[in-house]
Amino acid sequence: MKNSDGFMRKLWRYLPLDCEARKETRADRAGIRAADRADSEHLEETAAWLRRAQDSSPDGGVSRAYKGARHAGYGPYGWQPSYPETTGYIIPTFCALADCFENDDFVMRALKMADWEIDIQMDSGAVMGSVVTAPPSPAVFNTGQVIFGWLEAWKRSGQAKYLTSAVRAGDFLVSVQDKDGTWSRGDSKFALKGATTYNTRVAWALIELGLAAATERFIEAGRRNILHAVSKQRNNGWFADNCLNDPERPLLHTIAYATRGVIESALLLSNEEFLAAGIRTLEALLTCQRTDGGISGRLTQDWRSAADWDCVTGDAQVAVAWLRAHAITGERKYRQAARAAIDFVKRTQNLDHPNPGFRGGVKGSFPFDGPYGQFEMLNWAAKFFCDALMMVNDDQLAAKGIRG
Protein backbone atom coordinates (compact mmCIF):
# COMPACT_ATOMS: atom_id res chain seq x y z
CA MET A 1 0.00 0.00 0.00
CA LYS A 2 2.86 2.36 0.81
CA ASN A 3 4.38 1.95 -2.67
CA SER A 4 0.96 2.39 -4.21
CA ASP A 5 0.44 5.64 -2.28
CA GLY A 6 3.80 6.92 -3.50
CA PHE A 7 2.90 6.10 -7.09
CA MET A 8 -0.44 7.90 -6.77
CA ARG A 9 1.23 11.01 -5.34
CA LYS A 10 3.63 11.12 -8.30
CA LEU A 11 0.77 10.53 -10.71
CA TRP A 12 -1.24 13.39 -9.15
CA ARG A 13 1.84 15.63 -9.40
CA TYR A 14 2.60 15.06 -13.07
CA LEU A 15 -0.77 14.39 -14.76
CA PRO A 16 -1.89 18.05 -14.52
CA LEU A 17 1.27 19.22 -16.30
CA ASP A 18 0.86 20.26 -19.89
CA CYS A 19 2.74 18.11 -22.39
CA GLU A 20 5.55 20.66 -22.76
CA ALA A 21 6.35 20.71 -19.04
CA ARG A 22 6.18 16.92 -18.87
CA LYS A 23 8.53 16.60 -21.83
CA GLU A 24 10.97 19.14 -20.37
CA THR A 25 11.00 17.33 -17.01
CA ARG A 26 11.61 13.97 -18.70
CA ALA A 27 14.45 15.47 -20.73
CA ASP A 28 16.08 16.85 -17.58
CA ARG A 29 15.69 13.53 -15.79
CA ALA A 30 17.22 11.71 -18.76
CA GLY A 31 20.42 13.72 -18.51
CA ILE A 32 21.91 17.13 -19.08
CA ARG A 33 22.21 18.54 -22.61
CA ALA A 34 25.47 19.06 -24.46
CA ALA A 35 27.07 22.51 -24.11
CA ASP A 36 27.75 22.77 -27.85
CA ARG A 37 26.25 26.21 -28.52
CA ALA A 38 28.26 29.41 -28.33
CA ASP A 39 27.92 31.77 -25.37
CA SER A 40 26.70 34.43 -27.81
CA GLU A 41 23.78 32.26 -28.90
CA HIS A 42 22.75 31.59 -25.31
CA LEU A 43 23.03 35.30 -24.51
CA GLU A 44 20.92 36.30 -27.52
CA GLU A 45 18.22 33.76 -26.69
CA THR A 46 18.14 34.62 -22.97
CA ALA A 47 17.95 38.34 -23.73
CA ALA A 48 15.15 37.64 -26.23
CA TRP A 49 13.27 35.70 -23.54
CA LEU A 50 13.57 38.69 -21.18
CA ARG A 51 12.23 41.00 -23.90
CA ARG A 52 9.26 38.67 -24.35
CA ALA A 53 8.77 38.66 -20.57
CA GLN A 54 8.51 42.45 -20.65
CA ASP A 55 6.29 42.48 -23.73
CA SER A 56 3.91 40.01 -22.08
CA SER A 57 3.12 42.59 -19.37
CA PRO A 58 0.80 45.53 -20.13
CA ASP A 59 2.59 47.92 -17.75
CA GLY A 60 6.25 48.06 -18.79
CA GLY A 61 7.51 45.82 -16.00
CA VAL A 62 8.91 42.33 -16.52
CA SER A 63 6.80 39.23 -16.00
CA ARG A 64 7.91 37.36 -12.89
CA ALA A 65 8.06 34.01 -14.70
CA TYR A 66 6.66 31.76 -17.34
CA LYS A 67 4.81 28.93 -15.61
CA GLY A 68 4.94 25.73 -17.58
CA ALA A 69 2.32 23.83 -15.58
CA ARG A 70 -1.44 24.07 -15.24
CA HIS A 71 -1.26 22.33 -11.86
CA ALA A 72 -3.70 24.07 -9.50
CA GLY A 73 -1.04 24.39 -6.82
CA TYR A 74 1.20 26.59 -8.94
CA GLY A 75 -1.09 29.34 -10.15
CA PRO A 76 -2.16 30.12 -13.70
CA TYR A 77 -0.27 28.77 -16.67
CA GLY A 78 1.84 31.06 -18.86
CA TRP A 79 3.29 34.53 -18.30
CA GLN A 80 2.88 35.89 -14.77
CA PRO A 81 2.28 39.52 -13.69
CA SER A 82 5.18 41.99 -13.51
CA TYR A 83 7.50 41.70 -10.52
CA PRO A 84 8.75 45.04 -9.13
CA GLU A 85 11.75 43.61 -7.23
CA THR A 86 13.46 41.82 -10.08
CA THR A 87 12.39 44.31 -12.74
CA GLY A 88 14.48 46.78 -10.71
CA TYR A 89 17.74 44.89 -11.06
CA ILE A 90 17.02 43.80 -14.62
CA ILE A 91 17.38 47.49 -15.58
CA PRO A 92 21.22 47.48 -15.22
CA THR A 93 21.37 44.19 -17.11
CA PHE A 94 19.40 45.66 -20.02
CA CYS A 95 21.74 48.65 -20.11
CA ALA A 96 24.73 46.27 -20.21
CA LEU A 97 23.01 44.32 -23.01
CA ALA A 98 22.58 47.60 -24.92
CA ASP A 99 26.35 48.06 -24.82
CA CYS A 100 27.03 44.41 -25.63
CA PHE A 101 24.74 44.31 -28.68
CA GLU A 102 25.11 48.01 -29.56
CA ASN A 103 21.33 48.20 -29.49
CA ASP A 104 19.66 51.17 -27.77
CA ASP A 105 16.33 49.34 -27.68
CA PHE A 106 17.52 47.76 -24.45
CA VAL A 107 18.04 51.21 -22.89
CA MET A 108 14.58 52.32 -24.00
CA ARG A 109 13.14 49.20 -22.44
CA ALA A 110 15.13 49.79 -19.25
CA LEU A 111 13.80 53.35 -18.94
CA LYS A 112 10.27 52.05 -19.48
CA MET A 113 10.84 49.70 -16.53
CA ALA A 114 12.22 52.53 -14.41
CA ASP A 115 9.22 54.74 -15.20
CA TRP A 116 6.85 51.93 -14.22
CA GLU A 117 8.73 51.51 -10.93
CA ILE A 118 8.17 55.22 -10.22
CA ASP A 119 4.47 54.86 -11.00
CA ILE A 120 4.03 52.09 -8.43
CA GLN A 121 6.41 53.36 -5.72
CA MET A 122 4.58 53.46 -2.40
CA ASP A 123 3.93 56.78 -0.62
CA SER A 124 6.50 55.81 2.02
CA GLY A 125 9.17 55.47 -0.68
CA ALA A 126 9.17 51.69 -0.35
CA VAL A 127 8.80 49.16 -3.14
CA MET A 128 6.07 46.57 -2.70
CA GLY A 129 6.59 42.88 -2.16
CA SER A 130 5.38 40.14 -4.51
CA VAL A 131 3.96 40.76 -7.98
CA VAL A 132 2.23 43.98 -8.95
CA THR A 133 -1.27 42.47 -8.70
CA ALA A 134 -0.83 41.61 -5.00
CA PRO A 135 -2.06 43.99 -2.27
CA PRO A 136 0.81 46.49 -1.81
CA SER A 137 2.99 45.97 1.26
CA PRO A 138 6.52 47.35 1.80
CA ALA A 139 9.56 45.14 1.30
CA VAL A 140 13.05 46.21 2.36
CA PHE A 141 14.86 43.82 0.03
CA ASN A 142 12.74 44.73 -2.99
CA THR A 143 13.29 48.43 -2.30
CA GLY A 144 17.04 47.98 -2.40
CA GLN A 145 16.92 46.10 -5.69
CA VAL A 146 14.90 48.79 -7.43
CA ILE A 147 17.39 51.44 -6.24
CA PHE A 148 19.92 49.73 -8.53
CA GLY A 149 17.56 50.21 -11.44
CA TRP A 150 16.77 53.85 -10.73
CA LEU A 151 20.45 54.71 -10.35
CA GLU A 152 21.26 53.08 -13.69
CA ALA A 153 18.34 54.86 -15.37
CA TRP A 154 19.56 58.18 -13.92
CA LYS A 155 23.11 57.59 -15.15
CA ARG A 156 21.93 56.59 -18.64
CA SER A 157 19.33 59.32 -19.11
CA GLY A 158 20.43 62.17 -16.86
CA GLN A 159 16.80 62.56 -15.76
CA ALA A 160 16.55 63.68 -12.13
CA LYS A 161 13.26 61.87 -11.51
CA TYR A 162 15.10 58.56 -11.22
CA LEU A 163 17.55 59.81 -8.61
CA THR A 164 14.65 61.45 -6.74
CA SER A 165 12.82 58.12 -6.51
CA ALA A 166 16.01 56.35 -5.45
CA VAL A 167 16.56 58.89 -2.66
CA ARG A 168 12.95 58.46 -1.49
CA ALA A 169 13.56 54.71 -1.37
CA GLY A 170 16.80 55.24 0.55
CA ASP A 171 15.06 57.48 3.06
CA PHE A 172 12.50 54.74 3.65
CA LEU A 173 15.24 52.16 4.23
CA VAL A 174 17.08 54.39 6.70
CA SER A 175 13.85 55.20 8.55
CA VAL A 176 13.07 51.55 9.27
CA GLN A 177 16.61 50.28 9.93
CA ASP A 178 17.44 48.96 13.40
CA LYS A 179 20.47 50.25 15.31
CA ASP A 180 22.38 47.02 14.66
CA GLY A 181 22.06 47.52 10.89
CA THR A 182 19.30 44.97 10.30
CA TRP A 183 15.70 45.54 9.27
CA SER A 184 13.02 44.11 11.54
CA ARG A 185 10.50 46.71 10.34
CA GLY A 186 9.28 47.24 6.83
CA ASP A 187 10.58 43.89 5.67
CA SER A 188 8.61 41.75 3.27
CA LYS A 189 5.78 39.74 4.77
CA PHE A 190 7.02 36.93 2.53
CA ALA A 191 10.46 36.86 4.22
CA LEU A 192 11.31 34.71 7.24
CA LYS A 193 11.81 37.12 10.13
CA GLY A 194 15.34 37.26 11.50
CA ALA A 195 16.81 35.26 8.61
CA THR A 196 17.63 37.99 6.10
CA THR A 197 21.42 38.21 6.07
CA TYR A 198 21.01 38.43 2.29
CA ASN A 199 19.91 42.04 2.86
CA THR A 200 23.58 42.82 2.22
CA ARG A 201 22.30 43.50 -1.29
CA VAL A 202 20.22 46.30 0.22
CA ALA A 203 23.34 47.61 1.95
CA TRP A 204 25.18 47.55 -1.38
CA ALA A 205 22.37 49.54 -3.02
CA LEU A 206 22.39 52.10 -0.18
CA ILE A 207 26.14 52.61 -0.46
CA GLU A 208 25.82 53.06 -4.25
CA LEU A 209 23.06 55.58 -3.62
CA GLY A 210 25.03 57.43 -0.96
CA LEU A 211 27.98 57.83 -3.31
CA ALA A 212 25.78 58.93 -6.22
CA ALA A 213 23.78 61.43 -4.14
CA ALA A 214 26.71 62.46 -1.90
CA THR A 215 24.64 61.49 1.14
CA GLU A 216 26.56 60.02 4.07
CA ARG A 217 23.53 58.64 5.93
CA PHE A 218 22.95 56.11 3.14
CA ILE A 219 26.59 55.02 3.14
CA GLU A 220 26.58 54.64 6.92
CA ALA A 221 23.34 52.63 6.88
CA GLY A 222 24.89 50.25 4.36
CA ARG A 223 28.09 49.95 6.36
CA ARG A 224 26.16 49.04 9.54
CA ASN A 225 24.35 46.25 7.74
CA ILE A 226 27.55 44.77 6.33
CA LEU A 227 29.13 44.88 9.79
CA HIS A 228 26.19 42.87 11.10
CA ALA A 229 26.37 40.36 8.24
CA VAL A 230 30.08 39.79 8.78
CA SER A 231 29.35 39.17 12.47
CA LYS A 232 27.03 36.35 11.34
CA GLN A 233 29.79 34.65 9.34
CA ARG A 234 31.56 31.59 10.70
CA ASN A 235 35.23 30.82 10.17
CA ASN A 236 34.40 28.48 7.28
CA GLY A 237 32.66 31.27 5.36
CA TRP A 238 29.13 30.28 6.32
CA PHE A 239 26.56 33.08 6.80
CA ALA A 240 23.94 32.28 9.45
CA ASP A 241 20.27 33.36 9.25
CA ASN A 242 20.35 33.57 5.49
CA CYS A 243 17.39 31.98 3.76
CA LEU A 244 13.85 32.70 2.62
CA ASN A 245 12.43 29.68 4.44
CA ASP A 246 15.12 27.31 5.80
CA PRO A 247 18.16 28.92 7.51
CA GLU A 248 19.60 25.52 8.42
CA ARG A 249 19.75 24.54 4.73
CA PRO A 250 19.79 27.83 2.84
CA LEU A 251 19.30 28.17 -0.87
CA LEU A 252 22.35 28.72 -3.01
CA HIS A 253 20.38 31.74 -4.25
CA THR A 254 20.46 33.53 -0.89
CA ILE A 255 24.04 32.44 -0.16
CA ALA A 256 25.05 34.12 -3.41
CA TYR A 257 22.96 37.21 -2.60
CA ALA A 258 24.66 37.68 0.77
CA THR A 259 28.15 37.07 -0.57
CA ARG A 260 27.89 39.44 -3.53
CA GLY A 261 26.43 42.16 -1.31
CA VAL A 262 29.40 41.91 1.04
CA ILE A 263 31.98 41.93 -1.76
CA GLU A 264 30.52 44.85 -3.70
CA SER A 265 30.05 46.89 -0.53
CA ALA A 266 33.64 46.13 0.47
CA LEU A 267 34.92 47.44 -2.84
CA LEU A 268 32.86 50.63 -2.61
CA LEU A 269 34.04 51.23 0.96
CA SER A 270 37.65 50.09 0.34
CA ASN A 271 37.23 47.79 3.34
CA GLU A 272 39.68 44.86 3.35
CA GLU A 273 37.92 43.07 6.22
CA PHE A 274 34.62 42.96 4.37
CA LEU A 275 36.33 41.86 1.16
CA ALA A 276 38.12 39.02 2.93
CA ALA A 277 34.79 37.85 4.35
CA GLY A 278 33.17 37.68 0.92
CA ILE A 279 36.15 35.90 -0.65
CA ARG A 280 36.12 33.40 2.23
CA THR A 281 32.61 32.30 1.22
CA LEU A 282 33.50 32.08 -2.46
CA GLU A 283 36.52 29.95 -1.53
CA ALA A 284 34.25 27.58 0.39
CA LEU A 285 31.84 27.37 -2.55
CA LEU A 286 34.68 26.09 -4.74
CA THR A 287 34.61 22.91 -2.63
CA CYS A 288 30.88 22.50 -3.32
CA GLN A 289 31.07 22.53 -7.12
CA ARG A 290 30.45 19.18 -8.76
CA THR A 291 32.41 17.87 -11.73
CA ASP A 292 29.54 18.90 -14.02
CA GLY A 293 29.90 22.52 -12.87
CA GLY A 294 26.71 22.72 -10.82
CA ILE A 295 26.21 23.20 -7.09
CA SER A 296 23.51 21.72 -4.88
CA GLY A 297 20.40 23.90 -4.53
CA ARG A 298 20.69 23.85 -0.72
CA LEU A 299 23.78 23.59 1.48
CA THR A 300 24.35 22.87 5.16
CA GLN A 301 26.56 24.84 7.56
CA ASP A 302 29.49 22.50 6.85
CA TRP A 303 29.04 23.06 3.10
CA ARG A 304 27.46 19.70 2.38
CA SER A 305 24.77 19.17 -0.23
CA ALA A 306 21.24 19.21 1.16
CA ALA A 307 19.34 18.79 -2.12
CA ASP A 308 19.33 16.50 -5.16
CA TRP A 309 18.48 19.41 -7.49
CA ASP A 310 20.11 22.66 -8.56
CA CYS A 311 18.84 26.17 -7.92
CA VAL A 312 19.89 27.34 -11.39
CA THR A 313 19.61 31.01 -10.40
CA GLY A 314 22.20 30.38 -7.70
CA ASP A 315 24.55 28.64 -10.13
CA ALA A 316 24.49 31.74 -12.37
CA GLN A 317 24.86 34.11 -9.40
CA VAL A 318 27.87 32.27 -8.02
CA ALA A 319 29.45 32.32 -11.49
CA VAL A 320 29.09 36.12 -11.49
CA ALA A 321 30.62 36.36 -8.00
CA TRP A 322 33.54 34.10 -8.98
CA LEU A 323 34.20 36.27 -12.04
CA ARG A 324 34.32 39.29 -9.75
CA ALA A 325 36.74 37.42 -7.47
CA HIS A 326 38.97 36.61 -10.44
CA ALA A 327 38.97 40.27 -11.48
CA ILE A 328 39.85 41.34 -7.92
CA THR A 329 42.46 38.72 -7.03
CA GLY A 330 43.76 37.55 -10.41
CA GLU A 331 43.43 33.91 -9.28
CA ARG A 332 42.43 31.76 -12.23
CA LYS A 333 40.66 29.15 -10.09
CA TYR A 334 37.71 31.51 -9.74
CA ARG A 335 37.41 32.07 -13.48
CA GLN A 336 37.70 28.35 -14.16
CA ALA A 337 34.94 27.59 -11.65
CA ALA A 338 32.77 30.33 -13.16
CA ARG A 339 33.30 28.91 -16.64
CA ALA A 340 32.23 25.46 -15.47
CA ALA A 341 29.14 26.86 -13.73
CA ILE A 342 28.14 28.82 -16.86
CA ASP A 343 28.55 25.72 -19.00
CA PHE A 344 26.34 23.82 -16.57
CA VAL A 345 23.58 26.44 -16.85
CA LYS A 346 23.93 26.37 -20.65
CA ARG A 347 23.26 22.64 -20.58
CA THR A 348 20.03 23.15 -18.61
CA GLN A 349 18.67 25.62 -21.15
CA ASN A 350 16.45 24.78 -24.14
CA LEU A 351 17.20 27.03 -27.12
CA ASP A 352 15.03 25.11 -29.59
CA HIS A 353 11.68 24.85 -27.83
CA PRO A 354 8.76 25.93 -30.04
CA ASN A 355 7.04 27.64 -27.09
CA PRO A 356 8.48 31.18 -26.67
CA GLY A 357 7.85 30.95 -22.92
CA PHE A 358 10.26 28.03 -22.69
CA ARG A 359 12.79 28.90 -25.42
CA GLY A 360 15.76 30.75 -23.96
CA GLY A 361 14.28 30.83 -20.45
CA VAL A 362 16.26 29.75 -17.40
CA LYS A 363 14.62 27.26 -15.07
CA GLY A 364 14.06 27.80 -11.39
CA SER A 365 15.31 24.30 -10.70
CA PHE A 366 17.16 21.59 -12.56
CA PRO A 367 15.57 19.16 -13.03
CA PHE A 368 12.49 21.21 -13.95
CA ASP A 369 10.41 19.59 -11.20
CA GLY A 370 12.76 20.70 -8.41
CA PRO A 371 11.06 22.71 -5.64
CA TYR A 372 12.63 26.15 -6.29
CA GLY A 373 10.55 27.90 -8.94
CA GLN A 374 9.02 24.55 -9.75
CA PHE A 375 8.02 24.25 -13.43
CA GLU A 376 8.90 27.94 -13.94
CA MET A 377 11.25 29.97 -16.09
CA LEU A 378 12.26 32.84 -13.77
CA ASN A 379 13.11 36.36 -14.89
CA TRP A 380 15.83 36.76 -12.23
CA ALA A 381 17.48 33.50 -13.30
CA ALA A 382 17.62 34.87 -16.86
CA LYS A 383 18.99 38.19 -15.58
CA PHE A 384 21.89 36.61 -13.69
CA PHE A 385 22.68 34.24 -16.55
CA CYS A 386 22.90 37.20 -18.95
CA ASP A 387 25.23 38.92 -16.45
CA ALA A 388 27.47 35.84 -16.24
CA LEU A 389 27.62 35.36 -20.03
CA MET A 390 28.52 39.01 -20.62
CA MET A 391 31.12 39.11 -17.86
CA VAL A 392 32.91 35.89 -18.80
CA ASN A 393 33.45 37.31 -22.29
CA ASP A 394 34.34 40.87 -21.26
CA ASP A 395 37.18 41.32 -18.77
CA GLN A 396 36.47 45.02 -18.36
CA LEU A 397 32.84 44.32 -17.49
CA ALA A 398 33.92 41.60 -15.06
CA ALA A 399 36.29 44.08 -13.43
CA LYS A 400 33.62 46.70 -12.81
CA GLY A 401 30.63 44.36 -12.49
CA ILE A 402 26.99 44.90 -13.36
CA ARG A 403 25.54 47.09 -10.66
CA GLY A 404 22.65 44.98 -9.62
pLDDT of residue 14 exceeding 70, the answer is no
| pLDDT band per the 50, 70, 90 thresholds, residue 191 | low
Rounded-to-integer distance, Cα 80 and Cα 346, Å: 24
The pLDDT of 301-306, averaged and rounded, is 98
- Domain locations along the chain: 33-400
Q: Exposed (0-12), middle (13-18) or buried (19+): which is 148, by Cβ within 10 Å?
A: buried
Give me the pLDDT at residue 2, please: 42
Closest CA relative to residue 258, chosen from 242, 271, 246:
242
Q: Exposed (0-12), middle (13-18) or buried (19+): which is 7, by Cβ within 10 Å?
A: exposed
pLDDT of residue 35 exceeding 80, the answer is no
pLDDT of residue 21 exceeding 90, the answer is no
pLDDT, tens digit (0-9, with 9 covering 90-100), for 247-280: 999 999 999 999 999 999 999 999 999 999 999 9
pLDDT of residue 127 exceeding 70, the answer is yes
Give me the pLDDT at residue 88, please: 98
Give me the pLDDT at residue 74, please: 47
Rounded-to-integer distance, Cα 311 and Cα 373, Å: 9
Closest CA relative to residue 169, chosen from 223, 210, 226, 121:
121
pLDDT, tens digit (0-9, with 9 covering 90-100), for 141-165: 999 999 999 999 999 999 999 999 9
Rounded-to-integer distance, Cα 41 and Cα 35, Å: 11
Q: Please state which CATH number belongs to domain 33-400.
A: 1.50.10.10
The pLDDT of 29-51, averaged and rounded, is 91
First to last CA, the chain: 51
Query: What's the mean pLDDT when you consider all of the chain?
Result: 93
Say which residue, 302 or 186, is predicted with more confidence: 302
pLDDT, tens digit (0-9, with 9 covering 90-100), for 217-240: 999 999 999 999 999 999 999 999
Least confident interval from 10-24, 97-111, 225-239, 388-402 = 10-24
Closest CA relative to residue 388, chosen from 341, 330, 329, 352:
341
